[in-house]
Amino acid sequence: MPLILCHSPKGGVGTSFIAAGLAQGLSQLGREVVLLDMTAQGGVKHYFGLSPDHPLPDLEDDVIDQVAVGGVSLRSGRRASAQEDFAEALRSGDLPFDGETFYIADVASGDFALARLLQRHARLHVCALLPAAMSLALLPQVSPGRRLDTLDRTVFVLNQLDETRRFARHAALFLRELLGDNLIAQIHRDEAVNEAVGMQQTLARYAPASLALADVRKLAGIVDVLTRQEPAVRDEIGSDGGPTGEGDNRGSSSRSSASSEAA
Amino acid sequence: MRSDAANLLSRLGQGKFKYQEFRDNFADMELWPLFEALIRDPRISGTDEDSRSLFTDDPAQGRDTGTPTIPHAEPVRVAGLFGGYGAQASASPPATAPRRPQDDVRSLLKRLNDQVAAGEL
């Protein structure tokens, strides 16, 4: 069930951008990808060059006029998730989170109940962070009572990293220690992301040399590996990858990839 | 990317910018109290047995109470870089044995500095 939950306790950290980038990156790797916009704002489509008034078909609709950009099928899951039987549909397998298709859910920061529900069925929870004080201050809300570097299915992405800023540099160093292998990638701040939305183009089309694009594609490669690893396998890789803590099943491959981002 | 930047990169035979790295001397690094607070936060250090995750079952808030929740791990022994904080937190609560936060952060920064010097970071 390759459902990937993208959710952060802090809004405005680029969760939708990361969800969109993951979807595009996985599609580029040849995966079948459905991106579910579970937010009331419905903003993720802007990273695909779509207009603000471009509707997305609902998750439960029989799709005739499918919206697909660059191999990524876009759906709105907002209406479906608001229905009373959504949890039961998830439990019973009525919703199509199975097979080889990646379902990536972009969930608004304040929608903790939906995030909690989807997390139970997700292979991976990707939590975006900013190298900013307010983003770090909300870290204890992610998984209280457990060290963040020992979480099994939650990984972190440091977004909009600008190493010319002092606090950002310090925060990046601090997070590398605090999160360990669960900090799987860093995405550099890149104005091209904003400009691409303004141009109503995908980032890959508008700025193929974008550093943020390269970063997010590496992230997609790491997530692709992580979601296809069974926990036991991941444990083995973790033990090969050095002194990882108990319950830490992020592998050495992800660590090395993330480290390359840190340069 | 702006056309003038693209042209420059093209002439240089490069595909993208290489960002300059900015490094800090950890010994001179700002002692951000937020970092200290996060390290000491029992919800992060794994010493808070009563805290609840956003993703654990909470009948008062959750939509779904019929599926198993992700079990809380037993509080793990804090090891590694932050080990000193965890060990102190469990062995000597702040109320009975006040600590010196700045010393703790300095210790952290020194260890970071040592790791960088050793090529581990």
Residue B97 lies in a domain: yes
Torsion (CA) B116, A162, A133, A166 in degrees, nearest 10: 60
Residue of A87, A169, A243 with shortest CB distance to B64:
A87
Question: Total structural domains in chain A?
Answer: 1
B81: domain range?
30-49+75-121
Q: How many domains in chain B?
A: 1
Average pLDDT across chain A, whole number: 84
**Looking at residue B82, what is its pLDDT?**
45
Q: Are residues B16 and A245, on separate chains, in Cβ contact within 8 Å?
A: no
Record: contact A178-B78, CB cut-off 8 A? no
Q: Residue B96 in contact with residue B90, Cβ under 8 Å? A: no
Q: Which residues of B touch A150 (CB under 8 A)?
A: 46, 73, 76
Asked if the structure places residue B105 within a domain, the reply is yes
Question: CA A256: distance to chain centroid?
Answer: 19
| In-domain check, residue B67 | no
> CB B100: neighbour CB atoms within 10 A?
9
Residue A116 sits at the chain B interface (C-beta within 8 Å) = yes
B18 occurs within a structural domain: no
Q: Is there a domain that residue B25 lies in? A: no
Q: Do B30 and A166 touch (CB under 8 A)?
A: yes
pLDDT digits (tens, 9 = 90+) for A156-208: 999 999 988 989 989 998 999 899 999 999 999 999 999 999 999 999 999 99
Give tens-digit pLDDT for A26-67. Answer: 999 999 999 999 999 999 999 999 999 998 988 877 766 688
ipTM above 0.85, yes or no: no
Measured CA to CA, the distance from residue A140 to residue A179 in angstroms comes to 12
Tell me, what's the pLDDT at A79?
85
A139 touches chain B (CB under 8 A): yes
**Residue A256: CATH number of its domain:** 3.40.50.300
Q: Tell me if B42 is assigned to some domain.
A: yes
Which chain B residue shows the shortest CA-CA distance from A204? B1
pLDDT of residue B90: 40
Average pLDDT over residues A217-239: 68
Domain extent, residue A22, equals 3-262
| pLDDT at site A228 | 81
Residues of B in contact with A174 (CB under 8 A): 32, 35, 38
Instruction: List per-residue pLDDT tens for chain B, 121 residues long.
Output: 778 888 888 888 887 776 566 666 655 566 789 998 998 888 887 666 555 555 544 434 444 434 333 333 343 333 444 444 343 434 333 343 344 444 566 676 667 767 767 766 6
The sheet carrying A68-69 orders its strands as A68-69, A72-76, A33-37, A102-106, A3-6, A124-129, A154-161, A183-188
